[in-house]
């Protein structure tokens, strides 16, 4: 998903990015009890791989208790989801254990099931008579603690560039040179339409400044200037691992930030009352 943000500064944009990556809660497998594992992977590797499988929680992740603070002993439905995995290869051929084999013991969550991954996420391969039997407990967490809880594969904002073309100088160029100028940009920001150089999408620009370098080489340094737009405008792109939808991540991240600020506001008020700090 992409969306644009304007009327603010880089600090806000960056805060959104940081919270999306590091502080948006999701659910991921955190405890694994292995009953039998005769697969080629050792127990730690297997658990690590299970942890990285995106888990889709049906319901609001924010409402889920953190396992650490939950008042239950061990784990309960309010702070965790249990999964089961039992695969045994009785055939001759090597089989694949994928996220589809991971069975949730409640209907609150499922491992990522995406049409782009019809075979699921590969966990391990099993040879003849090899077996994996385990139960796994997924809990809530944030990317700050471990990357497996990070819901985004990329969350990034781009500064909208302001590209100024000097058409007077461009017209002086020969058609071949114009073609060369267009070709100078590796990100293909420029295109020629009806003999004119146009910019179909400014966000293609990656600030390589190859066009300015080219212009300098041909002795026309004023041909083009690339700057960040002032005041800045940002374009966010959020790509998820599948555990949350992009819009959910953005919403959740905005709530998180507001909660953080609220907390400090409240503390500041109590501090003021305690210490009679000047108003």
Residues from 166 through 185 that contact another protein (CB under 8 A): none
Nearer to another protein, 192 or 268 (CB): 268
Nearer to another protein, 194 or 276 (CB): 276
| Under rule CB under 8 A, residue 23 binds another protein | yes
Chosen residue from 2, 94, 106, 258 binding another protein by CB under 8 A: 258
Chosen residue from 157, 181, 190, 214 binding another protein by CB under 8 A: 157
Specify the stretch interacting with another protein by CB under 8 A; choose among 123-131, 157-165, 166-174, 217-225.
157-165
- At its nearest, how many Å lie between another protein and the CB of residue 62? 8
Chosen residue from 31, 45, 86, 165 binding another protein by CB under 8 A: 45
Cβ-proximal residues to 212 (8 Å cutoff; 6+ apart), any chain: 221, 224, 225, 226
271, containing H or E segment: helix 246-275
| Under rule CB under 8 A, residue 210 binds another protein | yes
The helix/strand count (H/E) of the chain reads as 6, 15
Cβ-proximal residues to 60 (8 Å cutoff; 6+ apart), any chain: none
| Under rule CB under 8 A, residue 33 binds another protein | no
The partner residues of 157 in beta bridges, in order of sequence, read 236
Specify the stretch interacting with another protein by CB under 8 A; choose among 80-88, 130-138, 142-150, 216-224.
142-150
| Under rule CB under 8 A, residue 251 binds another protein | yes
Tokens 């990034």 belong to residue: 156
Report which of 244, 246, 247, 204 is spatially closest to residue 226, judged by C-alpha positions. Answer: 204
| Under rule CB under 8 A, residue 237 binds another protein | yes
Asked whether the beta carbons of 214 and 184 are under 8 A apart, the reply is yes
Chosen residue from 76, 106, 207, 217 binding another protein by CB under 8 A: 207
| Under rule CB under 8 A, residue 128 binds another protein | no
The partner residues of 257 in beta bridges, in order of sequence, read none
Q: In the chain, helix, strand, coil percent, each to 5?
A: 30, 30, 40
Asked whether the beta carbons of 195 and 176 are under 8 A apart, the reply is no
Report which of 37, 51, 39 is spatially closest to residue 96, judged by C-alpha positions. Answer: 39
Nearer to another protein, 169 or 257 (CB): 257
Distance CA 148, CA 52 (A): 5
Nearer to another protein, 18 or 220 (CB): 18
- At its nearest, how many Å lie between another protein and the CB of residue 161? 10
Specify the stretch interacting with another protein by CB under 8 A; choose among 88-96, 129-137, 156-164, 166-174.
156-164
């Amino acid at each position: 998903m992409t969306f644009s943000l304007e009327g603010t500064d880089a600090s806000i944009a960056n805060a959104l990015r940081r919270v999306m990556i590091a502080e948006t809660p999701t659910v991921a497998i955190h405890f694994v009890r292995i009953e039998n594992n005769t697969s080629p992977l050792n127990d730690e590797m297997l658990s690590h791989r299970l942890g990285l499988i995106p888990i889709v929680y049906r319901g609001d992740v924010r409402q889920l208790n953190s396992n650490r603070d939950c008042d239950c002993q061990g784990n309960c439905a309010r702070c965790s989801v249990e999964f089961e995995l039992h695969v045994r290869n009785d055939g001759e051929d090597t089989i694949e254990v994928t996220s589809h084999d991971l069975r949730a013991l409640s209907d609150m969550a499922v491992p990522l099931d995406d049409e782009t991954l019809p075979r699921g996420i590969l966990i391990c391969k099993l040879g003849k008579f090899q077996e994996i039997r385990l139960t796994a407990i997924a809990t809530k967490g944030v990317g700050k603690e471990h990357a497996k809880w990070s819901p985004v594969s990329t969350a990034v904002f781009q500064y909208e560039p302001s590209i100024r073309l000097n058409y007077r100088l461009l017209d002086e160029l020969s058609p071949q040179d114009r073609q060369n100028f267009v070709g100078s940009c590796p990100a293909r920001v420029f295109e020629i339409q009806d003999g004119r150089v146009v910019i179909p999408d400014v966000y293609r620009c990656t600030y390589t400044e190859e066009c300015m370098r080219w212009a300098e080489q041909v002795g026309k340094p004023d041909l083009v200037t690339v700057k960040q737009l002032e005041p800045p405008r940002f374009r966010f792109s959020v790509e998820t691992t599948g555990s949350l939808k992009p819009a959910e991540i953005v919403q959740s991240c905005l709530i998180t930030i507001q909660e953080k600020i609220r907390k400090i506001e409240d503390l500041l008020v109590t501090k003021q009352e305690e210490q009679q700090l000047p108003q």
